[in-house]
Structure 1
Amino acid sequence: MSKFFRLATALLLLIQVSGWSQTLPSPKEHFGFNIGDDYHLATYTQTEAYFKKLATSDRTKLVDIGMTEEGRHQYMLIVSSPENIKKLDRFKEISQKLARAEGLSEEQARALANEGKAIVWIDGGLHATETVGTHQLIETAWQLVSKKDPETLRILDNVVILLTHANPDGQELVSNWYMREPKPEKRTLDHLPRLYQKYVGHDNNRDFFIMNMKESQNIGRQLFVEWIPQIMYNHHQRGPAGSVLAGPPYRDPFNYVFDPMMVTGIDALGAAMINRLNAENKPGFTRLGGSVFSTWYNGGLRTTTHFHNMIGLLTEIIGGPTPENIPVVPQRLIPNGNTPFPVTPQKWHFKQSIDYSLSLNYATLDYAARHHDEVLYNIYRMGKNSIDRGSNDYWTLSPKRIDAINQSFMADQKKTPGAAASTTPDLYGFLPRGGGVPQKYYDTIMKAPVLRDPRGFIVTANQPDFGTATKFINALIKTGIQVQEATADFTVAGKKYPAGSYIVKTDQAFRPHILDMFEPQDHPNDFQYPGGPPVRPYDAAGWTLAYQMNVKFDRILDGFDGPFKKLPYGELQSPKGHIDATSGAGYVLSAKANNSFIAVNDLLQSGVEVYRLPAGASAKTAIESGSFFIPASAKAKTALDKASKELGVDVISLAKRPSGALVKVAPMRIALWDTYGGSMPSGWVRWLMEQYHFPIKQIYAQDIDAGDLKKKYDVIVFVTRAIPAPGNAGGRGESEFFMSREPKAEELPAEYRPWVGRITSEKSIPQLKKFLEAGGNVVTIGTSTNLAYHLNLPVKNALVEMTNSGAERPLPGEKYYIPGSILQVTLDSTQQATWGMPTYTDVYFDASPVFKIAPDAIAKGTIKPLAWFSTDKPLRSGWAWGQSYLRDGVAAFMAPVGAGKLFAFGPEITFRAQAQGTFKLLFNQLYTNSVSQ
């Protein structure tokens, strides 16, 4: 080769490299400002365009992971070395094999760990008003794609990084809202007009064990089915006042189903993060008891990964496009284990938060690069531990088990006078120094055969609402759980089960998540000090999804097998319905099946007549009260064929028309309350109504105050925190949660002005009373049952005590405290309002209202109790301190008001669209019902 030719070739390569670099603009060149510049935010439209430019690099691959609820593309930018990018399929395969740990020997796992690359997930923007998250994602992508320093190159060689935008719709809304003001100093994030996720806003981070939202489904598939990263980092805001950020490790309690390596893995990453900040002279990292964040709750983007053996990281940082001040918080200025390097009060700029976030990302990635084989092996080890625990007799330690050991020991001690005093455990269950409990008390509890963990669960196909049970199974499948289906009838432990039943065994890597979805949570009694007030959980204390969805299942304690086929990972199931082939006078749909309401709404929309059966009917099997009867017609048969195939409903054919009175069903004009800025509970119900094909209209306080409500609507639904308490009537006001700092209408764009306002006793309540008296119905949920007090109905708050002065006051937290948990209530299932419900059901209860009703009001029919607490121990899952106070308290009632009806449901019957076992308590109230022959 001639010297000239070599020179020409080198020059050509230089030109190509130069041209390539020009196709990768810096953020300043693309957006027109640096990421972190004060008073500037990027929209998602701009960000999407930038990611597509970065995708031309040989260090990247841009993946469209699905559509958002508003119809945008949601992207994940994969970044690694050019060599790794060519072999992404292999590294994904290795990650899946190690995470699932199926059939791998120790030697095989070590070999795969050595071959593979650490998979690290970094997201941003889930909560769109937390603007650091989206912007650190942009800057991180640029740095990883453009930098050539040794650390970056080492990271790219050893790590595959999944940079994922968690909420495209929210970034577009928030950034446009902020940037609409032409003068930078006047820009503000305040008074966002609606939720930054179409339906659920901030609750998009409470959706990850059921994945109702499209964004959750997109993310969940990448996390739990496709990539299964060993480390995931979820960026959030806002840090505790007086600090810059809160991060790992987190405060107790952590969930008892976790593998301890997951907990200590968080510790290791937390140490790497805080050490890097300290080395870079970046103070203000708060951890452990310095913040409210724990690892108890499932359902969050970060926390659900904990139940899958992933090192899930969360940081909550201060900052935003508008500069702010770090306030003086004296107690945070003293170095301690929570905050070893306090930050001093100062003015804080957006760029500082971006710089901190980059340091935290690089700390995480550097750890993964240096320990890539270790993190890969460790997720295998945790998965293998889970398989072993699910394959053998195993007992999970929890507070109720420890209480049982102590109680057994103390019961024997009381038989010996004087012995108990020296060996009485303290509040936390610890014995005095030198004390101890003999081994037999441990063995009695922790080796009792009936108390061991189950080997699996059977979700039988012949349960009343198998369609909802299939939705539960799909929730498991979306989170990467291995599910099996019975191909023929089978028998386990003497009980026969039909073909089509689902089997979920616990001898699999994600066993912690399986137990968490089927078994009750046992939250410890957590108080600030002995006898003091309770420490509020970060979110719910109990949430067992099988309970919330009223799924019928059996816990199997011994190993079992049968004619089972393993379903492919991630393959969702369709419910399997049945329709009688015989023709007759008509068809029946069960009121027990949620999907029956979809079928009915579709029938009504197509003009088919539908009736309800107040007394049920006789057929091959007994037909319960409230079931739907559809007279035979060709149009009905076609629609029901479709419903059976697509919705999984069972359609029963009747040879003759049912005798007795029938109740004709017609669609109601349904109004759903909402407010400026958006109500998350209302958003969940709006989504729910769309899924079940109920037509609704959102209304606001101004619509209610305008009056003439009965001319427009038949029923108005008020979710929790809509209706405030009237003075000292005994209800708990929550409307200020949404109404505080309410904007002035004249300051808003005209399209949003009709949304401003709140429900008031002066204007709104009189209109609601007129609506009821004119024959309208009102459904209230949670604290909006305060309406009963406004209407002076004969009900009182059941959870009060008398003071020394003879006045009533709410029970203090030291005596009674029930954060979000699952309780059991007794139902009057003969009432039209409760058709399709069992006599006992689980409800989601979050410090919910409980009522005491005057006996004569019940006798006269002024109030009809629908649900109540019939025992002093209704707790099913979570934490209920002082639950005995609930006994005989009324949880739900119906009260006639003029020609209309008020329905009051204290529990959260539509909670986050998870509480599917109680959806019917809302659905039953959404039809007009007139008696017909």
Structure 2
Amino acid sequence: MRYFSSLLFGTLLLSLTSAWAQTIPSPKEHFGFTIGDDYQLATYTQTEAYFKKIAAASDRVKLVDIGLTEEGRHQYMLIVSSPANLKKLDRYKEISQKLARAENLTDEQAHALADEGKAIVWIDGGLHATETVGTHQLIETIYQLVSRKDPETLRILDQDVILLTHANPDGQEIVTNWYMREATPEKRSLDNVPRLYQKYVGHDNNRDFFMLNMKETQNIARQLFVEWIPQIMYNHHQSGPAGSVLAGPPYRDPFNYVFDPMMVTGIDALGAAMINRLNSENKPGFTRLGGSVFSTWYNGGLRTTTHFHNMIGLLTEIIGGPTPESIPLVPKRLIPNGNTPFPVTPQKWHFKQSIDYSVSLNYAVLDYAARQHDQLLYNIYRMGKNSIERGSKDYWALSPKRIDAIDEAYKNDPKKVVPPTNAALAQYGFIPKGGGMPIKYYDTIMKAPVLRDPRGFIIPANQPDFATAVKFVNALIRTGIQVQKATANFSVAGKKYPAGSYVVKADQAFRPHLIDMFEPQDHPNDFQYPGGPPVRPYDAAGWTLAYLMNVKFDRVLDGFDGPFQKLPYGELQSPEGHITGNAGAGYLLSAKSNNSFIAVNDLLASGVEVYRLPNGIGEKSAVEAGAFFVPASAKAKSLLDKSAKDLGIDVTALSKRPGTTLSKVAPMRIALWDTYGGSMPSGWIRWMMEQYHFPMKVVYPSDIDAGDLRKKFDVIVFVTRAIPPVGGKDEDIFSLFGSEPKVENTPAEYRPWMGKITAAKSVPQLKTFLETGGTVVTIGSSTNLAYHLGLPVKNALTEMTTSGVEKPLPGEKYYIPGSVLRVNLDSTQHATWGMSNKTDVYFDASPVFKIAPDAIAKGLVKPLAWFDSGKPLRSGWAWGQSYLQDGVAAFVAPVGTGKLYAFGPEITFRAQSHGTFKLLFNQLYSTGSANQSGVDAVAGSGQ
């Protein structure tokens, strides 16, 4: 009897425990409000606690810590599925990886795996923290999935493995605390958050997904491209176009030509499921295609990078926030059409409506995945297999320049046969029977051996800045690319390569991403109408990362092999540096290596003397101008031993001192401009300064206006949008993202950050700073400072009107959105030390200058970089690029005893353009002359 009672008690206790464990706390029970209530936002601290409660209470959830954020918070992913599926997660992950990589599988094996597997669906929220719908729909969706027991939810849990991922924990904490600081709900506002909501980069956290600089993007990328490789990923954003509730798939053209067509049509299918779900629930206002600006051309966004990995990447941009708002009257949005089949009428809009729409959209995606799970799994395999096949044989990719070449071949053929046409129907694209162009013109271009896509790429280990090349390799590895490494010396196509070189073959599933990182983008000439203004790309038009990072590589057009070892997926590489030679006198560090600047900064911080060689050593610069020399000492050897190992730089030990002029290096007191709300270009440089160990101080307009700058700083750096144009108002952080803050509404601690650089107060202080020996570095539109100072330079991109007035070139004649261009350099100058005579730059409607010859002859301005060609485009879109011929891209000018550096291109763009980092780094040291014994002869803070 006692045994029976104990057994009964144990059974009852187990039952009660199980019942308690399945009692799922609602958001209102945890947060104190319903998700979507007006004027209410949750902090990340509260959200993190809720995630943990949910995971502890539900057998449908596994909580995974995917890494720390830039501010040290834990970033979580909740895996939601049926209890049975959660017990087999390793198997479902394995199936997803095998099918996505498509290696050594037959179609039959792929079908079998697809039948066995579950659809892997990624849903994230909160990447842009001021877009508060994203984070809060994630919270509500998690609750719905773990608490509901309806047939649809149970089917979803049975057939899907859902990865619900918080994209920006730091930002949620910053933005919510800012919004909720007001005790009176109606006074709460998301406007004018004082600093960027993700450390350093703010909104640009969604531009980091092929470079992967930030910890958050690294955490996310590992799950997306190495671990889980989902078939569908859904990225929530806001806000939708005015007069609509949201914009979603499918998206407007152009899409990138490297995509598998099944990825594009897969987006179409999911988009149809999403809009149909909303329509069936009487939720109007979904616009798509040409109804919004969103396209699939750009790589680098959380959603768009997945497109290059055969994933069906979805983006929605929805209206809404905790403060009620209105859908405005936009008459042209009210007529149903293919873009917007079910328009929304003007009305007041509440946060809860956006949350409800978002949950419905999530369920539409999850239900589609559940019903089509086997097809989704097979299709990602098929896309990967297609990529492997394209990369393992001769393949010619179509693009606008190839079509132009076909047209040109036909046009220039004196023996061409003109096909019959029907003028009345030609305007509708009708071609009569027997019409069209003879196929030989297609064959001339699309079967030309030299125009084939490469079978692979070789990155030699003996290139000048191999450490930066390895950073490029690691960017590929982080995005799931298969990389191989040579275990011995080898030859391909008659060229010899050393052991340790990296090989990336094109016969792999993620070939679209691989091609996109090595090959130029060919953006079409896209205009609103023939002869009309250009259609602005959603983001960059060209970004070829190997060009931006100045990686030396060879394209191999034929199949090749060698002593290559395949690296495990996701295994990062570290370059091997060495000290060679006998260091009786000292050590040489190459100025060509970016990592040399880290080593030099560490030496300077430890009190070790460092010099530069203005003229290099030997004929034809056997050692390049600007190389670093470090006199021998025990401390120098210890630090350089560590730097060589950790940084992958090669250090040459010298038995005798260089027989050439030496200039002593000293660190400068560096100031970096920033503004209230945060400048993303400034944030990227701040991040770079930390990575390369440059000590610096962030300054604001009030610091500039306070004067006495020369007593505080040696060099001040201004990024794009810091210096306004002469006689005009430049766009700034407030014109881009909201109204300018008012002092009375700003907490006292942030008031010193307020204000702008002005011609009346700031420019005179900068002029005094320069005249008394300071250095100012300007980038992008901040080169406006040259005009404020009255330097003898002009805008090169103008034309004279019939009335004799000079004006900027119109977009119909000249338009270059973000693209990669090539410039010439004078690499003997201090500013360009360590660089080649030609380099690729990131150009984004950047300023270009015209300098009078007499100004150059008198030494008033010295060009540093210029366009020596009318066709400098390397990747992207450059309409009217011939106007750039002979234009100056960068210059230096003396101002009193100081110097102004003006760099038109974005030389530090999103910390991706490693090839031009030295154009900034070289200006951050003061140099003086020294005699052969190393004793200072002239001390100076100039260059």
Do both share a fold (TM > 0.5)? yes
- Per the TM alignment, residue 591 of structure 1 is displaced from its structure 2 partner at its CA by 0.5
SS in 2 for 1:645: helix
Structure 1: segments with no counterpart, 5+ residues: none
Q: Give the equivalent residue in structure 1 for 2:793.
A: 795
Contact 2:520–2:542 (CA under 8 A) maintained in structure 1: yes
Q: Give the equivalent residue in structure 2 for 1:780.
A: 778
Q: 1:581-621: CA deviations, max 9, x gaps?
A: 42221110000000000000000001100000011114999
Alignment of 1:187-336 (within 5 A): 187-336=188-337
Q: Give the equivalent residue in structure 1 for 2:695.
A: 695
Task: Report the Cα distance in structure 1 between the residues aligned to 2:83 and 2:929, rounded to whole angstroms.
Answer: 72
Q: 1:51-106: CA deviations, max 9, x gaps?
A: 00011111111000000000000000000000001111111111001000110111
Q: Give the equivalent residue in structure 2 for 1:526.
A: 526
Q: What amino acid maps onto 1:744 in structure 2?
A: K
- Per the TM alignment, residue 21 of structure 1 is displaced from its structure 2 partner at its CA by 3.4
Contact 1:179–1:187 (CA under 8 A) maintained in structure 2: yes
Alignment of 1:17-28 (within 5 A): 17-22=18-23, 24-28=24-28
- Per the TM alignment, residue 622 of structure 1 is displaced from its structure 2 partner at its CA by 1.5
Contact 1:96–1:228 (CA under 8 A) maintained in structure 2: yes
Q: Give the equivalent residue in structure 1 for 2:819.
A: 821
Q: What amino acid maps onto 2:504 in structure 1?
A: V
Structure 2: segments with no counterpart, 5+ residues: 932-943
Task: Report the Cα distance in structure 2 between the residues aligned to 1:642 and 1:425, rounded to whole angstroms.
Answer: 74
Contact 2:288–2:339 (CA under 8 A) maintained in structure 1: yes
Q: Give the equivalent residue in structure 2 for 1:865.
A: 863
Task: Report the Cα distance in structure 2 between the residues aligned to 1:686 and 1:591, rounded to whole angstroms.
Answer: 22
Q: Give the equivalent residue in structure 2 for 1:883.
A: 881
- Per the TM alignment, residue 653 of structure 1 is displaced from its structure 2 partner at its CA by 1.5
Give identity over the alignment, percent: 79
Task: Report the Cα distance in structure 1 between the residues aligned to 2:6 and 2:70, rounded to whole angstroms.
Answer: 56
Q: Give the equivalent residue in structure 1 for 2:934.
A: none
Say if 1:637 and 1:363 are closer, same or farther in 2 by CA, change over 3 A.
Answer: same
Q: Give the equivalent residue in structure 2 for 1:749.
A: 747
SS in 2 for 1:136: helix
Task: Report the Cα distance in structure 1 between the residues aligned to 2:6 and 2:826, rounded to whole angstroms.
Answer: 92
Deviates more, 1:583-592 or 1:338-347: 583-592
Task: Report the Cα distance in structure 1 between the residues aligned to 2:645 and 2:877, rounded to whole angstroms.
Answer: 41
- Per the TM alignment, residue 15 of structure 1 is displaced from its structure 2 partner at its CA by 2.3
Contact 1:423–1:432 (CA under 8 A) maintained in structure 2: no
Task: Report the Cα distance in structure 2 between the residues aligned to 1:871 and 1:619, rounded to whole angstroms.
Answer: 29
SS in 1 for 2:406: helix
SS in 2 for 1:382: helix
Q: What amino acid maps onto 1:866 in structure 2?
A: L
Alignment of 1:472-551 (within 5 A): 472-551=472-551
Q: Aligned pairs, how many? A: 929
Q: Give the equivalent residue in structure 1 for 2:713.
A: 713
Q: 1:655-701: CA deviations, max 9, x gaps?
A: 21112321100000000000000000000000000000000100000
Q: What amino acid maps onto 1:919 in structure 2?
A: F
Q: Give the equivalent residue in structure 2 for 1:152.
A: 153
Contact 2:421–2:435 (CA under 8 A) maintained in structure 1: no
Task: Report the Cα distance in structure 2 between the residues aligned to 1:739 and 1:901, rounded to whole angstroms.
Answer: 34
Task: Report the Cα distance in structure 2 between the residues aligned to 1:896 and 1:430, rounded to whole angstroms.
Answer: 63
Contact 2:793–2:851 (CA under 8 A) maintained in structure 1: yes
Q: Give the equivalent residue in structure 2 for 1:628.
A: 628
Task: Report the Cα distance in structure 1 between the residues aligned to 2:608 and 2:585, rounded to whole angstroms.
Answer: 14
Contact 2:679–2:733 (CA under 8 A) maintained in structure 1: no
Contact 1:733–1:783 (CA under 8 A) maintained in structure 2: no
Say if 1:850 and 1:674 are closer, same or farther in 2 by CA, change over 3 A.
Answer: same
Task: Report the Cα distance in structure 1 between the residues aligned to 2:29 and 2:732, rounded to whole angstroms.
Answer: 47
- Per the TM alignment, residue 46 of structure 1 is displaced from its structure 2 partner at its CA by 0.1
- Structure 2 length normalisation: TM-score? 0.96
- Structure 1 length normalisation: TM-score? 0.97
SS in 2 for 1:830: coil
Q: What amino acid maps onto 1:156 in structure 2?
A: L
Alignment of 1:94-113 (within 5 A): 94-113=95-114
- Per the TM alignment, residue 746 of structure 1 is displaced from its structure 2 partner at its CA by 2.9
- Per the TM alignment, residue 16 of structure 1 is displaced from its structure 2 partner at its CA by 2.8
1:892 aligns with 2:890: yes
Say if 1:455 and 1:257 are closer, same or farther in 2 by CA, change over 3 A.
Answer: same
Q: Give the equivalent residue in structure 2 for 1:39.
A: 39
SS in 1 for 2:412: helix
Q: Give the equivalent residue in structure 2 for 1:927.
A: 925
Q: Give the equivalent residue in structure 2 for 1:911.
A: 909
Q: Give the equivalent residue in structure 1 for 2:940.
A: none
- Per the TM alignment, residue 741 of structure 1 is displaced from its structure 2 partner at its CA by 2.1
Q: Give the equivalent residue in structure 2 for 1:841.
A: 839
- Per the TM alignment, residue 17 of structure 1 is displaced from its structure 2 partner at its CA by 3.6
Q: 1:815-853: CA deviations, max 9, x gaps?
A: 000000000000011111100010000000000000001
- Per the TM alignment, residue 394 of structure 1 is displaced from its structure 2 partner at its CA by 0.6
Task: Report the Cα distance in structure 2 between the residues aligned to 1:893 and 1:528, rounded to whole angstroms.
Answer: 36
Q: What amino acid maps onto 2:857 in structure 1?
A: A
Alignment of 1:501-650 (within 5 A): 501-618=501-618, 622-650=622-650
Contact 1:406–1:429 (CA under 8 A) maintained in structure 2: no
Contact 1:586–1:656 (CA under 8 A) maintained in structure 2: yes
Q: What amino acid maps onto 1:561 in structure 2?
A: D
Alignment of 1:403-442 (within 5 A): 403-412=404-413, 435-442=435-442
Task: Report the Cα distance in structure 2 between the residues aligned to 1:718 and 1:867, rounded to whole angstroms.
Answer: 19
Q: 1:35-61: CA deviations, max 9, x gaps?
A: 000000000000000000011111111
Q: Give the equivalent residue in structure 1 for 2:163.
A: 162
- Per the TM alignment, residue 431 of structure 1 is displaced from its structure 2 partner at its CA by 7.3
Task: Report the Cα distance in structure 2 between the residues aligned to 1:430 and 1:612, rounded to whole angstroms.
Answer: 68
Task: Report the Cα distance in structure 1 between the residues aligned to 2:89 and 2:721, rounded to whole angstroms.
Answer: 48
Say if 1:208 and 1:424 are closer, same or farther in 2 by CA, change over 3 A.
Answer: farther
Task: Report the Cα distance in structure 1 between the residues aligned to 2:697 and 2:421, rounded to whole angstroms.
Answer: 65
- Per the TM alignment, residue 738 of structure 1 is displaced from its structure 2 partner at its CA by 6.0
Contact 2:43–2:172 (CA under 8 A) maintained in structure 1: yes
SS in 1 for 2:551: coil
Q: What amino acid maps onto 2:908 in structure 1?
A: T
Contact 1:874–1:883 (CA under 8 A) maintained in structure 2: yes
SS in 2 for 1:302: helix
Task: Report the Cα distance in structure 1 between the residues aligned to 2:925 and 2:92, rounded to whole angstroms.
Answer: 54
Pairwise CA RMSD: 2.1
- Per the TM alignment, residue 420 of structure 1 is displaced from its structure 2 partner at its CA by 11
Contact 1:248–1:287 (CA under 8 A) maintained in structure 2: yes
- Per the TM alignment, residue 478 of structure 1 is displaced from its structure 2 partner at its CA by 0.2
Deviates more, 1:315-324 or 1:423-432: 423-432
Task: Report the Cα distance in structure 1 between the residues aligned to 2:583 and 2:712, rounded to whole angstroms.
Answer: 40
Task: Report the Cα distance in structure 2 between the residues aligned to 1:101 and 1:739, rounded to whole angstroms.
Answer: 43
- Per the TM alignment, residue 654 of structure 1 is displaced from its structure 2 partner at its CA by 1.7
Task: Report the Cα distance in structure 2 between the residues aligned to 1:223 and 1:784, rounded to whole angstroms.
Answer: 38
Say if 1:676 and 1:652 are closer, same or farther in 2 by CA, change over 3 A.
Answer: same
- Per the TM alignment, residue 14 of structure 1 is displaced from its structure 2 partner at its CA by 4.5
- Per the TM alignment, residue 338 of structure 1 is displaced from its structure 2 partner at its CA by 0.1
Contact 1:619–1:654 (CA under 8 A) maintained in structure 2: no
Q: Give the equivalent residue in structure 1 for 2:362.
A: 361
Q: What amino acid maps onto 1:346 in structure 2?
A: Q
Task: Report the Cα distance in structure 2 between the residues aligned to 1:481 and 1:641, rounded to whole angstroms.
Answer: 32
Q: Give the equivalent residue in structure 2 for 1:445.
A: 445
Q: Give the equivalent residue in structure 1 for 2:470.
A: 470
- Per the TM alignment, residue 8 of structure 1 is displaced from its structure 2 partner at its CA by 6.8
- Per the TM alignment, residue 427 of structure 1 is displaced from its structure 2 partner at its CA by 12
Q: What amino acid maps onto 1:573 in structure 2?
A: Q
Contact 1:486–1:563 (CA under 8 A) maintained in structure 2: yes
Q: Give the equivalent residue in structure 2 for 1:182.
A: 183
Say if 1:486 and 1:544 are closer, same or farther in 2 by CA, change over 3 A.
Answer: same
Q: Give the equivalent residue in structure 2 for 1:77.
A: 78
Task: Report the Cα distance in structure 2 between the residues aligned to 1:631 and 1:470, rounded to whole angstroms.
Answer: 29
Contact 2:581–2:652 (CA under 8 A) maintained in structure 1: no
Say if 1:657 and 1:141 are closer, same or farther in 2 by CA, change over 3 A.
Answer: same
